[in-house]
Amino acid sequence: MADSSPVVVVTGANGLVGAAVCRALAARSAQVRAVVRRAGSAPALDGVTEHVGDFADESFAREVTRGADAVVTTVHPMGSSREEQHRVGAEGTPVLARAARENGVARLVHVSTAGVYDRSPEMGDVAEDGALTPDGSGAYPDTKNATDAALAQVEGLTTVLVRPPAIIGAGQTSVWNTLRPRAVRDGHRRANPEQTWSWVHVDDLAAFIADVATGAVATADDPERGPVAGRATPVIVAGEPATWRDYLGTVTDALGVAPEWTDEPVWTGQLRTDRARRWGWAPRVDLGTALAELRRGVSAADPGD
């Protein structure tokens, strides 16, 4: 890793997570190659240059990773067809990973998801070695698991599989601050209030990713102390404990509608963040602050938009 001004490639730089990662990297004086599909959509920040192209295209992948110190991948078309999610994630992302390895990139940081873990009602707390969801659990967990497995097969590249739960943060494309509240407004208000609602604020997630990508977190022989060189290391990042009463209660109250509480068996465990904390990370956005931001955004939104 470069001692100063590391060069970091970020895919999906116009998305909620990608843009936050670009901001965090720029704050660390990194030179960011922001990969987007639409010209003019990358964050306008000092040290950030826009690169328009498809990271699954081998020639583009080789070009954009040449001379880079790290690559951050944030793209997965959640909500699209299983075929599209598999094509972009399990097939496309490894193309970029192989190009990075061939160009001598020090490490790849991939935004995976805590959704790859089995969080059935009978499960307790979940750490990185927890049971994964079985195949057939749904398009999103299936294709995210397949992507993680494909990246782990890219030998010789230090890969960090960052596994966040629900990512909170203001933005038009934010699932939990914008899209899910719209669904709640339209009638999707059922949940067991005691069910665990695992979350992390996008700024805390981006800070962790930026530290890993820039080498502030050193490699180690033990994954509990840092990314293992030449291998894929998973790491969970999550905020403080919360339930669906916290999340759905905030959204419905802001919308002026009533939640529909249920009592079916649900997961009430927690995501363990011991590994991330041993790597030097700690979330700075608490639950109250995150929910206040959520409430402001929901209350300010046009009820008919």
- What are 133-185's pLDDT values in tens digits? 999 999 999 999 999 999 999 999 999 999 999 999 999 889 999 999 999 99
- Measure the N-to-C terminal CA separation of the chain; round to a whole number of Å: 46
Mean pLDDT, the chain, rounded, equals 96
Identify the three-state secondary structure at position 50: strand
Residue 304 confidence (pLDDT):
53
Residue 301 confidence (pLDDT):
82
Q: How confident is the model at residue 278 (pLDDT cuts 50, 70, 90)?
A: very high
In order of 51, 100, 141, the CA distances from 54 in angstroms are 9, 15, 23
Q: DSSP state, 270?
A: -
Residue 26 confidence (pLDDT):
97
Residue 4 confidence (pLDDT):
72
* Four-residue CA torsion sign, 21, 65, 162, 120: positive
- What are 18-44's pLDDT values in tens digits? 999 999 999 999 999 999 999 999 999
Residue 1 confidence (pLDDT):
53
- What are 60-104's pLDDT values in tens digits? 999 999 999 999 999 999 889 999 999 999 999 999 999 999 999
Q: How confident is the model at residue 303 (pLDDT cuts 50, 70, 90)?
A: low
Residue 140 confidence (pLDDT):
96
Give the count of beta carbons closer than 10 Å to the beta carbon of residue 138: 11
Residue 227 confidence (pLDDT):
98
Burial class (CB in 10 A: 0-12, 13-18, 19+), 208: buried
Q: What percent of the chain has pLDDT over 90?
A: 95
* Four-residue CA torsion sign, 56, 57, 62, 63: negative
Residue 276 has pLDDT above 70, yes or no: yes
Residue 302 has pLDDT above 60, yes or no: no
* DSSP letters spanning 94-161: HHHHHHHHHTT-SEEEEE--GGGB---TT---B-TTSPBPPTTS-HHHHHHHHHHHHHHTSTT-EEEE
Residue 305 has pLDDT above 60, yes or no: no
